[in-house]
Chain A
């Protein structure tokens, strides 16, 4: 079953009278329990499309459905009980956590909001959640500025998971962190996939996409130029653009 479906979605922006097509009539499906990768260069429209899927950006035309129901109602998206089903992890962990809230408080608040627990229970649940993300009780008491980039990104994954979503949309989750921290974060995503979470992974790092995705969409200038099973895309790319992306992976030639 497809958990999210996007049909004929377009997003245009008006820039001083110029109409910019960020996303241009694209179709997309996220089957339940799968991980879908979206790759492309900056400006290809992949982040805009991810924002459409998560309801943060309204499409200019076209529609997005969640479990066969449209997510949009007037200007609102994911209303009521749907709200917690789709959560997002942003590229920049510095910007996505409140700098004046201790990690534990930020997560507990999200848990209280989404799971309706009382203060004490939420705190316990938050500690458990953070522990499973590899953040110790000691680190959970700290402010985001006192954590490393990798820890912060894991904390923002915990924030997203606190709503117990069925879909996680991750926009460049590994771009701002070190290689070793990246391996820890990807291991974490891997566990989430095993638990049955559906994930949309947006990245320009093909290594990350190759590692996690079942199915890959390649985006260029607002359209999907190629899509296919992950191994097909990487072993047998058809479009020149995909070939160029793959050959630009550092270390590709020595693999």
Chain B
């Protein structure tokens, strides 16, 4: 195993404690590799474990009563599973920045934006206090906020949704992290604002060579800005595919997601929907967890077995057993 990947997740399993004896898996055999400067899109339906996977990267699983049961999680060669609090303090916020899901509730309502940015900046204890304001303005400029001097003195309720999300991004990049985890950063924002935020993330990647994990359930969006797409279904990663070749997907779930896009059909045409509901946590079927909803599944898919990602081309991995039979 080489250590030059920025982030390596291998067969990660995250469990939650339900009762003293009962454990429920919410993420199972998830694998993901990120190189420096890459934007990875993580896509999946609600409840597929995207957010929990993100939380494992900033070490906040415990707050939800969840923990990593098995697998590997390495960031720049550091094992994050066994990491102690002092190691986390050096990583969380400093080397891995986190942009949370709820942009609208993101910033602290009783702190000024300036105070929050100062807090993010002063995570670095050696940072001279006299330069905090200068650095805050610099950060607000990076995230393209107009009138940064005024915004520093404002509270979150005085800002629009897009501006709040920009402030959250500014906090996340305060320490120039190597990796930004953006968990559905534009859910609830307008399409025009969404396009601006996406441009901003691309610009940050270009300027600072930051890697970004972008979580979303919006396939066209992910397809547009990411280098690679990682598809999650029922707690596992089912396919990793370069976004350029999304049309050559070799997993029925990715194909179904792609086909359910409404921009592909004529107005009022027949939409291709995915059958049924995503299996809920705790009642995942044996074998391939998509088999119940898959038109393509055969008995061999439903047998209890491990379905790891198999490499089937440059940078293309799928967990589908019958991937060579998929032709489109």
By a beta-carbon cutoff of 8 Å, the part of chain A in contact with chain B is 41-43, 148-151, 175, 178-184, 186-187, 190, 193, 204-208, 210-213, 230-231, 244-245, 247-255
Contact = CB atoms under 8 A, between A and B. Distances in A.
Given A148-B46, A184-B271, 9 more contacts: A179-B219, A179-B260, A183-B273, A204-B190, A207-B261, A244-B192, A248-B194, A250-B218, A251-B261
B218 A208 contact: no
Given A41-B192, A148-B278, A178-B45, A210 B224 contact: no
Contacts of B161: 42
Nearest to A234: B267
A141 to B, nearest CB: 16
A179 B219 CA distance: 8
Query: 10 closest A-B pairs (Cβ-Cβ)?
Result: A251-B220, A250-B221, A248-B195, A183-B260, A250-B220, A248-B191, A180-B274, A41-B190, A183-B273, A248-B192
B192 A180 contact: no
Contact of B262 (A181, A182, A193, A247): A182
Contacts of A181: 45
Contacts of A184: 271, 273
B188 A175 contact: yes
Interface in B176-231: 188-195, 198, 217-221, 223-224
Contacts of B145: none
B24 interface: no
A245 B46 contact: no
Nearest to B162: A42
A178 B219 CA distance: 10
Interface string B25-39: 000000000000000
Secondary structure at chain A's binding surface: helix, strand, loop or mixed? helix
A210 B265 CA distance: 10
A211 B256 contact: no
B325 interface: no
Contacts of A206: 191
B131 interface: no
B264 to A, nearest CB: 8
B263 A255 contact: yes
24 contacts: A42-B161, A42-B189, A42-B190, A148-B277, A149-B46, A179-B219, A181-B45, A183-B273, A186-B262, A187-B273, A204-B191, A207-B261, A210-B262, A210-B263, A211-B268, A212-B267, A231-B267, A244-B192, A248-B195, A250-B198, A250-B218, A250-B220, A254-B220, A254-B224
B6 interface: no
B257 interface: yes
Nearest to B223: A251
B272 interface: yes
Interface in B36-58: 45-47
A244 to B, nearest CB: 6
A94 to B, nearest CB: 12
B224 A251 contact: yes
B261 A179 contact: yes
Interface in B94-153: none
Nearest to B48: A178
A250 B194 contact: yes
A151 B278 CA distance: 12
A179 B191 contact: no
Contacts of B277: 148, 150-151
Interface in B261-290: 261-263, 265, 267-268, 270-274, 277-278
A242 to B, nearest CB: 11
Contacts of A247: 195
